[in-house]
A and B are shown apart, each in its own frame.
Chain A
Amino acid sequence: MRALIVEDEVRLARNLKRALESVPTFAADVLHDGKEAWERLESGEPYDLLLLDRMLPGLDGMEVLRNLRESGSRIPVLVLTALGGTEEIVRGLDYGCDDYLVKPYDTGELLARCKALVRRSREHPAPVLEVGDLRIDTRTHRVTRGDRSLDLPALEYRLLEYLAYRPGAVVSRTELLDHLYDYNWEKFSNVIEHYVYALRTKMEAGGEPRLLHTARGMGYRLEAEEKV
């Protein structure tokens, strides 16, 4: 999942990025200016989550949010702000944000809310994803196949989790590249093949049937097939 953090306080933005990326689910981009953020979002950059400060230079956070919702985007948005009055929170929610967190926030709570927002936007509110005998616990980031625990580095986990939210659907390589890496990453499409290969090796190490399939020329899908 790819998140965009818009926060003008440089060090706070850096902390947010570090905290978010301590969860293998997320790759995060950081912007410090409201106008830049809206330009980035307007260009159609595919984000799965937006963390938005309210008071921003360039364009106010609430304006960014309004523009975003008027453009029809359904990205889950978490507004972070020092304005903690009930009225302010109601106004923020009325502008179309999905959640509202008042500074100083607790990092653990922030991460839990981010994960919950992603689950909800993927229409999968349960914290455990299951495909066949594959279980992904999004709380602890533990992955098991049957009784066997899989030890996955962050990017492999991110890829598997992304596919597991939509079992059976074919996901293109480009989409995977867009959603797994942050803005500054050099995007070579064969890295995906590399991770798919590594994942398959680990998932099938006990002789289990294949779950991660290649749709030739189209992409990948994660599905438990009931065939020989």
Chain B
Amino acid sequence: MGLLAYLLLLTLPVEALVLLLFGVWMVRAIEQRDLDALDASLQTQSRDLLMDAAEEGGRLRSRINDRALAPGTRACVLGENGAVLWETPPGWFAQCGLEGKPLGPVQYSMSRRMGGERHRVFARATRLLREDEASIDEPTGPLITVVLSVPLTDLDQADALLRRKALTAGAALLALTALLLFAAIRLGLRPAAALVERLSHIPGPQGLERLDADRVPHELLPLAHEINGLLDRISELMARQERFTAEAAHELRTPLTLVKSTLQTALLAGDGRDGLEAALRESLEDLERLERTAESLLELARLDTLIAKPEPRFEEIDLAALLRQAAERFGSRAEERSMEIALALDPCMFRGNRDALMRLLDNLIANALTYAKAGGTVTLRCGLQGDCIEAAVEDEGPPIPESERERLFERFYRGASARKAESSGTGLGLAIAEAAARLHGGGIACEPCGEGNRFVVTLFRR
């Protein structure tokens, strides 16, 4: 259901009820006012009639003079026993059904249907005051009753007209309300519509235009801010992706280009058997480098997929045992550079992904054995730190410059020493380690440690 329907459903019944109550009250009030005016006029006329009927000394006149009444008005004067003393037009009182013997002094007015017409009937019974009366408050003279009746035709017609007009006005008011609500919603939602329009037209990566907060109504400001934040994050992701794609293209194309150009040049230059053999050998090395890069990229993609999964499948792992095994695997490589691997391991049971953790540790240890100075010691540590498990790989330098430390874990970033070493590195080893740490809800950092470096992996226990 739309906003307009909601608003109409909420507003219109309430408004209709209020209008109805107000209309009824107004019509009643006007009717009452008219009746009051009529009653006042009837009262005046009845007093005149009484004056006519009463004689000096508190007796009734034997004959009452005819007098002119307001047009349409009927009147009669009754004596003590209810006998009609005088009436106009003649004989009406007998037919009107009001006959009855008045019990005492009284004055009332009522609306009454008589002969298919509504009438206002005013009756007044009064005892006349005798000359010798002791108290004005308690007259004891003969009881005289005056009855007046006026048809309410004009008044009823006016009332009906008033009701019709009130109904028309009410309906018009309801329609106007609906129209205003519709217009207000259209106007109020125009910025939202513009927002939607702008969002639907967001083009490629370059066109992530932010929404202008000044042009958004304040009710939609949080939405606009959120959208802008989202756009910022998307832009950053895209920029990172673009950088990564460019780097990956470079890393994959360079060895490919080398292989192709080496082989083509060897053929073109008409090299002898030795030349061709050298070209083949070089090409094979390039292909191996290409293979390593491709493997690393796949590894990263696998880790990214795992990280995106809500519930990666983890198993129970003894981190200390994992580090011990890694130390054994790297024993001969350490010997090649006369290095030693020292262990400082506390028992650490932990739920995680074995392959990812092994890659993480292998990459860190391999880096230390490749770039730290020959003859030094590489120390592997692990232990509990509160809710976390910390594993560390420490070397004895040379230290990694501070400017490089932040960028070490970026994909394809190679520090100065890695570039200088003309090493076979892919520039992805630490990026893989970082992704593996992230898979376990942790992180990785490089910090100075004495003359050397310490790579600390923090893993959260589940």
Contact = CB atoms under 8 A, between A and B. Distances in A.
A106 B263 CA distance: 11
A81 to B, nearest CB: 9
B62 to A, nearest CB: 125
Given A11-B282, A15-B265, A103 B246 contact: no
A82 B250 contact: yes
Contacts of B249: 82-84
Given A22-B265, A108-B264, A12 B257 contact: yes
B10 to A, nearest CB: 54
B47 interface: no
A12 B250 CA distance: 13
B278 to A, nearest CB: 11
A82 B261 contact: no
B296 interface: no
A156 to B, nearest CB: 20
A214 interface: no
Given A11-B282, A103-B256, A19 B250 contact: no
B254 A82 contact: yes
Interface string B257-295: 111111011001100000000000010000000000000
B260 A107 contact: yes
A141 to B, nearest CB: 13
Interface in B167-219: none
| A interface residue count range (under 10 / 10 to 19 / 20 to 34 / 35 or more) | 10 to 19
B268 A22 contact: yes
A179 B177 CA distance: 89
B457 to A, nearest CB: 32
Nearest to A13: B261
Contact of A11 (B256, B260, B262): B262
Contacts of A22: 265, 268-269
Interface in A97-122: 102-108
Q: Do most interface residues of chain B lie in helix, strand or loop, or is the interface mixed?
A: helix
Contact of A104 (B261, B265, B269, B282): B261
A148 interface: no
Given A15-B265, A22-B265, A104-B253, A83 B246 contact: yes
Nearest to A18: B265
B253 A19 contact: no
A16 interface: yes
* A12, A55, A84, A106 — most chain B CB neighbours (10 Å): A12
B269 A82 contact: no
A106 B259 CA distance: 11
Contact of B253 (A15, A82, A107): A82
Interface in A75-105: 82-84, 102-105
Interface in A2-17: 9, 11-12, 15-16
Contacts of B282: 11
B265 A107 contact: yes
Interface in B218-258: 246, 249-250, 253-254, 256-258
Interface of A: 9, 11-12, 15-16, 18-19, 22, 55, 82-84, 102-108
- Top 3 closest A-B pairs, CB basis? A107-B264, A104-B257, A82-B253
Interface of B: 246, 249-250, 253-254, 256-262, 264-265, 268-269, 282
Given A19-B268, A82-B257, 18 more contacts: A9-B258, A12-B254, A16-B261, A18-B265, A18-B269, A19-B269, A22-B268, A84-B249, A102-B253, A103-B253, A103-B254, A103-B256, A104-B259, A105-B257, A106-B264, A107-B260, A107-B261, A108-B264
8 contacts: A12-B254, A12-B258, A19-B264, A82-B253, A104-B253, A104-B261, A105-B257, A107-B265
